[in-house]
Structure 1
Amino acid sequence: MSQVEGSWGGYHPQKDRLRGEIWQRLKQEGVAVGDPVDRIPNFVGAGEAAVRLASLDVWQQAKTVKCNPDSPQIPVRLRALQEGKRLYMAVPRLTDARCFVELTAEGLQEKQIPLEQVAIAHHALSYGRLVSFAQMQPIDLAVVGCVAVARNGGRTGKGAGFADLELAMLRMLGLVQATTPIVTTVHPLQIVADERLPMLPHDWLLNWVVTAQDAIAISPTRPQPTGLDWDTIRPEQYQRIPILQQLRRASISGFGSKDFPGN
C-alpha cells in the first residue's frame, strides 16, 4: 500500500484509491491545512463552512450534537459550545468503553476553561466528562468527518469505519433515530460523482454536505442502518474497541441505553 492510500485502507480498493486522490488533490491545490494524508483533512474554509452549517434549521433546532474529534470540525464543536448546545465528541479510535466525551458551555465556564481551547480534541478529553450510553441524552444532529462525499449521501472517512460504528451503536441504543440528520463540513474538492462512492448496507448516508460556499440537502435513497451488523465488524475492530465486546456480550439478552451492562 502506498503512503497516499493511508494506513487504514485495504478493505475497499475503490475507496482507497479515491481517498488517495482526494488527499493528493487537496495538497496540489493548496487548500489542505497541514498534511491531509491518513486524516480527515483539515481545509481552507473550515470556519466558513461551520458558519454556513450553523445557519441551517437542522442545526438551530438541535440541542444536543454529536461531533467527530477531527481538526476540520474544530469550528463546528466551538460553535456548538458557544450556542449552548450539549456536545458529545467521540473518543478518538473509541479506545474507552465510555466512548464519548460530554461537553457543555455551562460546565466549562464554571471551571473558567476557554471554549476555544476545549474545541480542540485533546483538550476536550482532558476537560470533558467521559460518559456511558446511559448518561447520554438523545442526539438531535450528528456531524461526521469525511475524506470524500457524494451528492447522493455517500461518504467515506479514513477507512477505519469509526463513524459508521458510532452511529450504529447509538442507533442500537435509541440515542440516534432513523430521522436524525447526519451532516458534514468539507471542501468542495472533496465532493465526487455518485458512482465513485459505492455504499454498503452498513454505511450511513449523509443528509447534508456543507462547504464554505454551499449547503447541499440530500434525500437518502435507502433507510439508514438499524444498528450494528456483526457480520461486517472486522476482527481488529472487535479486539481494539472495548465497547463492541460489551455490546456483543449483552446483545443476546436485549437491552436499551438505560440498562446496558456497566452503566
Structure 2
Amino acid sequence: MCELEVFSDSQCVKVNPDSPQKGVRLLTLTGGKKLLTPQPRLRTGFFSIVESGMLTPATIKEACTSVGVAKYGKPIGLDEKIKVDLIVIGSVAVDPKTGARLGKGEGFAELEYGMLRYMGAIDDSTLIVTSVHDCQLVDDIPVQKLLVHDVPVDIVCTPTQVILTNTKIPKPQGIYWEMLSPEKLSQIRILRELKRRIERETGKLLPCGPSEKLPPTAQRTSRPGKRAFSKK
C-alpha cells in the first residue's frame, strides 16, 4: 500500500474501521495524512477525522482503533467541507480482472460511499483500493448481477502484489433510497437525517425500499433471499 503513488500523494484517506484494515490506518497516520473513518456500522454517528499532526508516537497506534478514533478523532457532519483523495475498503473476495467485489452483505461500504458523494467529498475520479489476502482473489463474480449501488475497486493490494483492475463498472452516484429498507433506515440516524434534509431541500418525499427482516448484528452475514456479494 505504501508503495502506491496515489497513496503517497494523498492527504486524506478514508479507511473502513474493520480489523483487517488496521495496518492501513496505521500507514495513513504514520505517513502524516488525515484519516477519515466511519463509526462502526454508523450506529453512533457518522465519520471522524484523525489528524496525524495531533498524535504522538505513543498514541498513534491507539488512534488506529475504534477506541482511539473516539478519543483522538473529530466527529464530522454532513456539512463538513472535505476532500477525500483515496478510499480503502475491505472485501470478502474480489475479482482483479473486473474490479467486482464481494462484501459482508450489510451495505455499509455502499452507504458510506453514497454519503460522501452527497457531501461532494469524492467523485468518479476518486480511486478505490481494497486490501485483501491473495487467497481472496477470485474470478467468478458475475458483473451482470451487480446492483447499481455496488462499489467496484480500482486497485487490489495483497501482501504479494498490486493489481490495477481498470474496472469498467460504474461507480454509485449517491444513496439509492428506493433500495434502502425501512428497517435499515431506522437503524442509522445519519441516514435518516440525510433523508429529511434532501426532502426539505427538494420538497419531495424520497422513495423507500421493500421491507426486510434484519438478523441480529452478531449473526449477520448476508440478507435472507439476497445474494451474498452485493454489499459490504
Check whether TM > 0.5: yes
Which amino acid is the alignment partner of residue 235 of structure 1?
A: P
Evaluate the alpha carbon distance shift between residue 115 and residue 136 of structure 1 in structure 2; reply closer, same or farther with a 3 A threshold. Answer: farther
Matching residue within 175, 180, 190 for 2:121: 175
Aligned mates of 1:230, 1:78 — CA distance in 2: 34
- Match for 2:137: what amino acid? I
Aligned residue among 63, 71, 88 for 2:36: 88
User: Deviation above 2 Å: which 4+ runs of structure 1?
Assistant: 133-136, 194-198, 252-255
What amino acid is aligned across from residue 68 of structure 2 in structure 1? H
Q: Does 1:115 align with 2:60?
A: yes
Equivalents in 1 of 2:68, 2:54: separation in Å?
14
Q: Which residue pairs with 2:26 in the alignment? A: 78
The answer to whether the Cα contact below 8 Å between 2:79 and 2:119 also exists between their aligned partners in 1 is no
- In 1: Cα distance, 2:81 partner to 2:146 partner: 29
Tell me the residue number matched to 1:67: 15
Cα 1:120–1:220 change in 2 (3 A) is same
**What is the distance in 1 between the residues matched to 2:175 and 2:121?**
13
The residue number in structure 2 matching 1:153 is 99
The one of 187, 204, 223 equivalent to 2:170 is: 223
Q: Give CA deviations for 1:34-65 in whole Å, capped at 9, x if unaligned.
A: xxxxxxxxxxxxxxxxxxx1111111111100
Residue correspondences, number: 200
8 Å CA contact 2:185–2:191 kept in 1: the answer is yes
Residue type at the aligned position of 2:26: L
Structure (1 or 2) with the greater helix fraction: 1
How far does residue 196 in structure 1 lie from its aligned partner after superposition?
Answer: 5.0
Q: What's the C-alpha RMSD, in Å, of the aligned pairs?
A: 1.7
CA contact (8 A) 1:154 1:194 kept: no
Counterpart amino acid of residue 189 in structure 2: P
What SS does structure 1 have at the residue aligned with 2:141?
Answer: helix
Unaligned 5+ runs, structure 1: 1-52, 256-263
2:197 pairs with one of 226, 250, 256: 250
User: Do 2:28 and 2:34's aligned partners in 1 also have CA atoms closer than 8 Å?
Assistant: yes
Gaps of 5+ in 2: 203-232
2:100/2:141 contact within 8 Å kept: no
SS in 2 for 1:55: coil
d(CA) in 1 for partners of 2:134, 2:104: 18
Contact kept in structure 2, 1:65 and 1:143, CA below 8 Å: yes
